[in-house]
Amino acid sequence: MNLIQQVKDITSEGLETAHSLPFGAYSDAEFYNLEMEKIFKDDWVFVCNEGEVSQHGDYYAFTLANEPVVVIRGKDNELRAMSNVCRHRGTPLNDEGFGNAKRMVCPYHAWTYTDSGKLLGVPHPGTIDIKKEEHCLPHFKLESWHGLVFINLNNNAAPLAERYAGMDKYLKRYNLNKFVHGQGGEDEEWQTNWKLAIENGIESYHLFKVHQKTLEPTLPTKHAFYIEGGSEWTLTGGDVTNTGVGPMTSAVLNAITPEKTKRLWNHYVVISLPPNFAGLLIGDTLGYIAVRPGTAGKSYIRAGSISSSRVIGDMFGYIRAGSISSSRGSESALDLESGFTQAFLAEDKWICERNQRSMNSKVGKPGKLVELERVVVDFYHYLNSRLFDQGPTANYVAPDSEKLVD
């Protein structure tokens, strides 16, 4: 059976019979190209938060599925997504990453564009009459959901907002519309397929092993639970406990003391928005990772957060006390001084890159998924729906989820 047929079969299974994907799905270049066409050029993809591009001229430029894109804040305060390719001879206009440019000037022959993509000037045209209106930058769709910015390279795409409406009842108590303070880091290159990074980001099964000293003491695997989900989004969660050890303990303890905020702090919620967003919501902060595919075996990971609190250095920037040294997580010892998020992301990078190293094995075989991996099964259903043009799946609602509904 060929790889595509195998993936089609496996991604249509329910939890009872679900297996991990064939390894080729994480290493085969042709399969990767199919994903770029059917997913990253055709669906809503998370890019950054509004706080990262809040001022006139602030931009974020990146390449998505071979398409250079720039998201830029206009003078009118509108955020727009545009092609980052010069309309002269095709040079990328803005450098990749974050920057500020009220006018975009091509580094090659200085054709210049406004912040809404109109061609403004062409130096030294000689006798040639260049019709400026015929040389504007193409636009892409852009939508913001609670300050999180998504783009879609397919201009015929259905709006994003409706897709996420079902989550509202669980998220209402957090008042996400007050999460107006946002920040984010730089792209980090991981030698891993984008799906390994995102599967790792959404499941809580690995906390007790990979994050033994960082997340597990406060977010223990054995108290993780499923809330609701399907192919379009999934919410899972877990109890926040105080075991008396671990870096999050004192901040969480302090935070849960006032009775009125207790119900925000006594559990966490993991928000999975396929294809590429995995968020961790506790109390007043939603920390996340965004995954951008590079090649079949390489991804770019960017961490960020939005919060109702001004005090966010990193995801739990105010949790810097304590020092741990973990034997896990890599070559270099973890250093909490560089930030709690950095510490557990180093652990995730380590395990994802290690996982990737087996993805060309011809003898190893994928195995069964466990109950805590229902969210991974949802992600597979997402793949099934996009790669094979199937419709969205109906949501599964865990029996106790009502408790979290306001």
Q: Which residues bind Fe ion (CB under 5 A)?
A: 348
Residue 135 neighbours by CB distance under 10 Å: 16
Of these partners, ligand FES, Fe ion, none, which one is at the site of residue 348 (CB under 5 to 8 Å by kind)? Fe ion
Quote the least distance from Cβ 214 to Fe ion, whole Å. Answer: 9
Binding mask of the shown chain, residues 106 to 145, with x at each position contacting ligand FES by CB under 6 A: x-xxxx----------------------------------
Residue number with CB closer to ligand FES (85 or 351)? 85
Residue number with CB closer to ligand FES (92 or 99)? 92
Residue number with CB closer to ligand FES (109 or 262)? 109
Of these partners, ligand FES, Fe ion, none, which one is at the site of residue 296 (CB under 5 to 8 Å by kind)? none
What are 397's strand-pairing partners? 228
Residue number with CB closer to ligand FES (111 or 382)? 111
E strand map for 161-296? 181-184, 188-190, 224-229, 234-239, 267-273, 277-282, 285-295
Residue number with CB closer to Fe ion (28 or 216)? 216
Cα separation, 249 vs 247, in Å, equals 6
Q: Residue 405 corresponds to which amino acid?
A: V
Cα separation, 343 vs 25, in Å, equals 29
Q: Which residue is nearest to Fe ion (CB)?
A: 348
What is the edge-to-edge ordering of all strands in the sheet holding 148-152?
A: 45-49, 148-152, 139-145, 79-83, 67-73, 58-64, 97-100
- Residue from 86, 207, 303, 312 touching ligand FES (CB under 6 A): that is 86
Question: Of 104-112, 259-267, 275-283, 394-402, which segment contacts ligand FES by CB under 6 A?
Answer: 104-112
Of these partners, ligand FES, Fe ion, none, which one is at the site of residue 41 (CB under 5 to 8 Å by kind)? none
Residue number with CB closer to ligand FES (14 or 125)? 125
Q: Is 5 helix (H, G, I), strand (E, B) or coil?
A: helix
Measuring CA to CA, which residue among 290, 271, 291 is closest to residue 279? 271
Question: Of 82-90, 193-201, 274-282, 337-345, which segment contacts ligand FES by CB under 6 A?
Answer: 82-90
Measuring CA to CA, which residue among 209, 188, 176 is closest to residue 306? 176
Sort strands 277-282 and 267-273 into parallel, antiparallel or unpaired.
antiparallel
Measuring CA to CA, which residue among 19, 26, 22, 17 is closest to residue 6? 22
Of these partners, ligand FES, Fe ion, none, which one is at the site of residue 108 (CB under 5 to 8 Å by kind)? ligand FES
Question: Of 103-111, 262-270, 281-289, 292-300, which segment contacts ligand FES by CB under 6 A?
Answer: 103-111
Please, which of residues 234-293 interact with ligand FES by CB under 6 A?
A: none
Quote the least distance from Cβ 186 to ligand FES, whole Å. Answer: 26
Using an 8 Å Cβ cutoff, are 202 and 278 in contact? Answer: yes
Cα separation, 18 vs 350, in Å, equals 25
Cα separation, 180 vs 221, in Å, equals 30
Cα separation, 387 vs 97, in Å, equals 29
The footprint of ligand FES on this chain (CB under 6 A) covers a number of residues equal to: 9
Quote the least distance from Cβ 105 to ligand FES, whole Å. Answer: 9
Of these partners, ligand FES, Fe ion, none, which one is at the site of residue 109 (CB under 5 to 8 Å by kind)? ligand FES
Give 221: exposed, middle or buried? Use CB within 10 Å, 0-12, 13-18, 19+.
Answer: middle
Residue number with CB closer to Fe ion (72 or 197)? 197
Phi, psi of 135 (to 5 degrees): -125, 45
Cα separation, 240 vs 26, in Å, equals 33
Question: Of 11-19, 83-91, 191-199, 387-395, which segment contacts ligand FES by CB under 6 A?
Answer: 83-91
- Residue from 41, 56, 88, 102 touching ligand FES (CB under 6 A): that is 88
Using an 8 Å Cβ cutoff, are 372 and 203 in contact? Answer: yes
Residue 361 neighbours by CB distance under 10 Å: 10
Quote the least distance from Cβ 269 to Fe ion, whole Å. Answer: 15
61 belongs to the binding site for ligand FES (CB under 6 A): no
Of these partners, ligand FES, Fe ion, none, which one is at the site of residue 360 (CB under 5 to 8 Å by kind)? none
Cα separation, 123 vs 107, in Å, equals 12
DSSP state of 113: E
Quote the least distance from Cβ 135 to ligand FES, whole Å. Answer: 10
Quote the least distance from Cβ 124 to ligand FES, whole Å. Answer: 11
Of these partners, Fe ion, ligand FES, none, which one is at the site of residue 191 (CB under 5 to 8 Å by kind)? none
Contact set with ligand FES (CB under 6 A): 86, 88-89, 91, 106, 108-111
